[in-house]
Amino acid sequence: MRISDLVAMCARNLTRRKLRTLLTVMGVVIGTGFIVVMISLGLGIEQANTQMLEGWGDLNVIQIQNFGNTETPLDEAAIAAIMAMPGVEVATPIFELRMEGAGASMHAGRRGRYEWGAWGISGLHPQALEPLGYAVTEGRLLTPEDSNVGPLRVMFGENTAYEFRDTRRRWPNDMINIWNVQPGEPLPDPFFDPMSERHLTLTLFPWDDGQSLEFEVEVVGVMRGDFRRGWETMGGVIMNLDDMQRMIAEFERQNNIRRDRNAVEGFEQARVRCYSMDDVAEVEAAIRAMGFPNTFSMEQERQSMQEGARQIQLILGFIGGIALFISALSIMNTMIMSVYERTREIGVMKVLGCALGNIRSVFLLEAALIGFIGGIIGNALSFLVSVLLNVYGTGMMGGGGMGGGMSGMGEPAPVSVIPLWLMLLGLVFATCVGLVSGVVPAMRAVKISALEAIRTE
Indicate whether 296 pLDDT > 60.
yes
- What pTM was estimated for this model as a whole? 0.62
pLDDT in tens, 8-31: 777 777 777 788 788 888 888 888
Q: Are 133 and 226 in contact (CB under 8 A)?
A: yes
Q: What is the pLDDT of residue 260?
A: 62
Q: What is the pLDDT of residue 122?
A: 93
pLDDT in tens, 36-66: 888 888 788 777 777 766 665 577 889 998 8
Please tell me the distance from the alpha carbon of residue 142 to that of residue 125, in angstroms, as a whole number.
9
pLDDT in tens, 93-126: 999 888 878 899 999 999 899 999 988 899 999 9
Q: Residue 432 — left, alpha, or beta (φ > 0 → left; ψ -120 to 50 → alpha)?
A: alpha
pLDDT in tens, 343-359: 666 666 666 667 777 77
